[in-house]
Structure 1
Amino acid sequence: MLSFPAYCFIYFLGIGGIGMSALARLLAAQGYTIVGYDKAASPLVTQLQNAGMFIHFTDSVTAIPSVIRQHPTKTLIIYTPAIPSDSPILNYLRGSGYTMLSRAEALGSIVNHLPTVAIAGTHGKTTASAILAHMLYESTLAMLAFVGGIMHRYNSNIIYNHTLNQVQVVITEADEFNKSFLQLTPSHSIVTSIDPDHLDTYATVATLQENFKQFIKQSKQTVLVHAKAANQLQLTTHGYSPLLTYGLNNAVIQADNIRIAARQSVFDYIGDGVTIKEIILPLPGSYNIENALAAITMGLTLGLTEAHVRASIASFPGMQRRFDYIARNEKFVLIDDYAHHPAEIAALLSTVRHIYPNGCITAIFQPHLFSRTADFYEAFGTTLSIADQVLLLPIYPAREVAVPAISSQLIYDCLSCKTKILVEDGKLLTILPSYMRQHAYHVVVTIGAGDIGTMVPAIAAVLAQQLLQ
């Protein structure tokens, strides 16, 4: 299996992204020489370097490795849309005869000729993808999965259980940002949610919904849609692939007899003619039960047995930054989560409140993107106020240029929790101890899609020093 047989070298612009790094790992496994650029080092980039990939951090034409400059006809360029349009490297390569593909185009080229399950949604797609990927990895079906996060046990965002030339089914996330998911023509698809997001791409909710409808139309076989999303899109089975809905209620696929604890959820799967009782999912939260419903339904569609579903769900190892327990002791709990949309934060903090009704919940939130903050600052204020205390960090810009009128102050002004703190850049570890003294049990939740995940070890150390001595 060679995805791009005309090329020997592949140069990734933005190689450190979760989707780009997965492609780099796959193509390295196929024998290509992988070279990459990213704006900064990260733990994920270090993993790629340790795997033998050369990566540089300067956006300059002179920094382009000689092997790339010397072989323009044998080099394929794969770039992320997060690369600025005025990037010197990007513009040099565009003007120098190189073949260039966006990440979405490259992914489509790799998977569209294979039986594929594409999982889309403004939230939930990573967990649903990971659960399904783990279920299939544990089966005899030859599978390949691209997941938008790092899975515990596998320590990777790409997994496969046979040699790559034997792949029978591919699992991939289908990202709605920049309309990337429209590059896919999957065999089966899942839509987990369509709450408004990426309005910098779509401008209106109606346009976002029309693009999700187009994604569904491109699916060739089974389409599985969360009941709320199906209602928002006014979807029926008419004019689309065979369509099933799922959700906690008012859906074809439902959960019953639900019990949620600190480290797991237990439920009965009620499907279309199928019931699987007492499924143990090692993740808390009703929203994670819904993600599991989607994964289970697709697993059954692909031929997994009920017994296999039950056993593989129970052994799901979890993921980094998805209700990820970093510390848990007699004085405090530290949970790290990637939530970056108001609906995700509401689901996360409501689950935390359910599990720890008597704990003092402190949310440490780093807003992601100026555009998203401008669109949802009121909703962020409402959902974060589920916590008792909120420590609000500066906005993480990611691909965006700073907008002076948009700051974390907008969210701060909408908070109604007991304690709220606007944290200056770089001051979190200094001020954190002063908010960790007055309560018997602390539940600290780090939240955001930026670089807050890199701060978590230091936060854990501060909490341990303050509360365990």
Structure 2
Amino acid sequence: MENIKIDKIKTVYFLGVGGIGMSALAHYFLQSGVNVFGYDLHPTAITDELSQHGAKLHFEEKVQAIPAQVDFVIHTPAVPIEHAEYQCFIKNKIPIYKRADVLGWLSQQFLNIAVAGTHGKTTITAMIAYLLHEEKRIMAFIGGIAKNFDTNFLTDANPEWVIEEADEYDKSFLKLFPDSAVISSIEPDHLDIYGNRENLETAFNLFANQIRNNGALIISEKASPKITYPFKFTYGFDPSSDYKISNIQFFPTYSTFVICYKKICFFNVKLSITGLHNVLNATAAFAVAHQLDIPAETAINKLSTFTGVKRRFDYQIVRDDFIFLDDYAHHPEELRALFTSLKQIYPDKPLTVVFQPHLYSRTRDFFEQFAEVLAIPDKIILLDIYFAREKPIEGVTSDALLALIRNKNKIVLSKEMLIPYLLQNKPVLLVTAGAGDISQSVPLIKQAFENPSN
């Protein structure tokens, strides 16, 4: 795409426009005056907003809906290549690019900060965007809806910096050549792509060494030994970390802690969301801002008003008798972080978790790890596996996973059975978790518990 000029683009077509990453790119092109057309399987709040901003979208496999002139297509793997519209573009020799190709092309036109890691990317990206907003001219592509901005795409006039998530799936992050970067964690995931942990770590090393001009790499202390890039700053709890965290206190809706950089300590840092993982995320974002010469006091003040990302430790109902929150956690270590934080904050409240496994391959690759971490809640409810882009794998089912979980309070339910079951069993602390369409059940659960008689 290196020869494409944005001012020459007339029409872009999105296959799978409703995805959170795809929709952010669609917003970019809309705001650049480009005609945006696209397909997705179902209308959602995300596609509704795109339509309101001028995108022409449809929700059925319909070649006739494709406009006569298309400069290029942006495709997500969630739409199979057998799709009739995909095949139409192939037949007519219309260029088809992955989202990572377009994001890589776009980011090269600016200074850019890439946020990588198997966990925490979205929250850190949103935090960096919030800390840099009004301090520098930015454009941000966020993998979730940042509550402070109520969007997943943000741009100033004439942006100087682009902030983007660097997704390790399909080695997409190797399309990026950032001026500064974050690596929050390197845990085995997407083994259908990488095969093993070593290949995954090799890819992260390649990504780190694509940082331009000796730019800063902000990296968690646990991930740091796996990365050879020399210009790195670590963060974490160890005294040897460059950005050392201490004196953490957790409260239901906020956390307080201290960050020390070398011999300078910043006391009374208040983060307006809670959880140990979010303290780590905030420290990574603070380190990025600090390395870009944002005054520490400014960054700390902004952390106190950062309101989070939808579907990340996202409170839905808070009452004395009932607490309900939703989270995107879909990897065993993300679930562990979520459950650990909730047990720290609410030690006396029994925890009920509704979890929808995401992808057959991930469930297969981490059967034992999922079983171990899903034994932590007091009650676990499994929904059927969300298949996304995959076909079923024999023997990989929620029933098979349930059998491995050492928790006497466990059950597999259909989505249709879920709300009646919850209303009958009256959980005290309820969490929905997963990266699939469980998100569609969240407002229905919220409505059912806010209006139990209806």
Give the TM-score normalised by structure 2. 0.95
Distance 1:407 1:78 in 2: 32
Residue identity opposite 1:146 in structure 2 = F
In structure 2, what is the equivalent of residue 183 of structure 1? 175
In structure 2, what is the equivalent of residue 155 of structure 1? 150
Residue identity opposite 2:204 in structure 1 = F
Question: Structure 1 residues 104, 357: CA separation in 2 closer, same or farther (over 3 Å shift)?
Answer: same
Could you tell me which of 340, 347, 351 is aligned with 1:357? 347
Residue 140 of structure 1: CA displacement?
A: 2.9
Residue 134 of structure 1: CA displacement?
A: 0.6
Residue identity opposite 1:228 in structure 2 = K
In structure 2, what is the equivalent of residue 219 of structure 1? 211
* SS of the residue 1:34 aligns to: strand
What pairs with 1:202-241 in structure 2 (closer than 5 Å)? 202-220=194-212, 221-231=215-225, 233=226, 235-236=227-228, 240-241=229-230
In structure 2, what is the equivalent of residue 243 of structure 1? 232
Q: Deviations over 1:77-112 (max 9, x none)?
A: 111132212122112212213222211000111111
Distance 1:464 1:83 in 2: 36
Could you tell me which of 447, 451, 466 is aligned with 2:433? 447
What pairs with 1:58-69 in structure 2 (closer than 5 Å)? 58-64=60-66, 68=67
Distance 2:450 2:397 in 1: 31
Residue 390 of structure 1: CA displacement?
A: 0.7
In structure 1, what is the equivalent of residue 130 of structure 2? 134
Question: Structure 1 residues 274, 167: CA separation in 2 closer, same or farther (over 3 Å shift)?
Answer: farther
Residue 313 of structure 1: CA displacement?
A: 0.7
What pairs with 1:307-386 in structure 2 (closer than 5 Å)? 307-386=297-376
* SS of the residue 1:181 aligns to: helix
Distance 1:88 1:32 in 2: 24
Asked if structure 2 preserves the Cα contact closer than 8 Å seen for 1:3 and 1:109, the reply is no
* SS of the residue 2:441 aligns to: helix
* SS of the residue 2:185 aligns to: coil
* SS of the residue 1:98 aligns to: coil
Distance 1:61 1:151 in 2: 34
Distance 1:60 1:207 in 2: 39
Identity among equivalent positions (%) equals 34
Distance 2:449 2:333 in 1: 28
Q: Which runs of 4+ in 1 moved over 6 A?
A: none
Question: Structure 1 residues 14, 3: CA separation in 2 closer, same or farther (over 3 Å shift)?
Answer: farther
* SS of the residue 1:358 aligns to: coil
Give the TM-score normalised by structure 1. 0.92
Residue identity opposite 1:242 in structure 2 = F
Residue 17 of structure 1: CA displacement?
A: 0.7
Residue 308 of structure 1: CA displacement?
A: 0.4
Asked if structure 2 preserves the Cα contact closer than 8 Å seen for 1:230 and 1:245, the reply is yes
Residue 374 of structure 1: CA displacement?
A: 0.6
User: Is 1:14 paired with 2:16?
Assistant: yes
Distance 2:448 2:312 in 1: 22
Asked if structure 1 preserves the Cα contact closer than 8 Å seen for 2:273 and 2:307, the reply is no
Residue 3 of structure 1: CA displacement?
A: 5.7
Residue identity opposite 1:261 in structure 2 = F
Distance 2:233 2:148 in 1: 32
In structure 1, what is the equivalent of residue 386 of structure 2? 396
* SS of the residue 2:306 aligns to: coil
Could you tell me which of 441, 446, 450 is aligned with 1:460? 446
In structure 2, what is the equivalent of residue 305 of structure 1? 295
Structure 1 alignment gaps of length 5 or more:
none
Which stretch has the larger CA shift, 140-149 or 42-51?
Answer: 42-51
Distance 2:5 2:403 in 1: 50
Distance 2:200 2:381 in 1: 32
User: Is 1:171 paired with 2:163?
Assistant: yes
Structure 2 alignment gaps of length 5 or more:
none
User: Is 1:422 paired with 2:412?
Assistant: yes
In structure 2, what is the equivalent of residue 96 of structure 1? 92
Residue 414 of structure 1: CA displacement?
A: 2.0
What pairs with 1:45-56 in structure 2 (closer than 5 Å)? 45-56=47-58
In structure 1, what is the equivalent of residue 69 of structure 2? 71
Question: Structure 1 residues 3, 152: CA separation in 2 closer, same or farther (over 3 Å shift)?
Answer: farther
Q: Deviations over 1:399-428 (max 9, x none)?
A: 111234211112211222341111134211
Distance 1:104 1:7 in 2: 18
What pairs with 1:286-305 in structure 2 (closer than 5 Å)? 286-305=276-295
Q: Report the RMSD for the aligned CA atoms in angstroms.
A: 1.7
Q: Deviations over 1:30-71 (max 9, x none)?
A: 10111111122222111111222111112232332xxx2x22
Distance 1:297 1:455 in 2: 36
Which stretch has the larger CA shift, 400-409 or 178-187?
Answer: 400-409
Which stretch has the larger CA shift, 402-411 or 207-216?
Answer: 402-411
Distance 1:167 1:326 in 2: 34
In structure 2, what is the equivalent of residue 26 of structure 1? 28
Distance 1:153 1:140 in 2: 16
Asked if structure 2 preserves the Cα contact closer than 8 Å seen for 1:248 and 1:290, the reply is no
Distance 1:338 1:457 in 2: 15
* SS of the residue 1:278 aligns to: strand
Q: Deviations over 1:424-466 (max 9, x none)?
A: 34211122223217xxxx0000100011111112112333455
Residue identity opposite 2:42 in structure 1 = A
In structure 2, what is the equivalent of residue 412 of structure 1? 402
* SS of the residue 1:85 aligns to: coil
Asked if structure 1 preserves the Cα contact closer than 8 Å seen for 2:135 and 2:294, the reply is no
Question: Structure 1 residues 3, 82: CA separation in 2 closer, same or farther (over 3 Å shift)?
Answer: farther
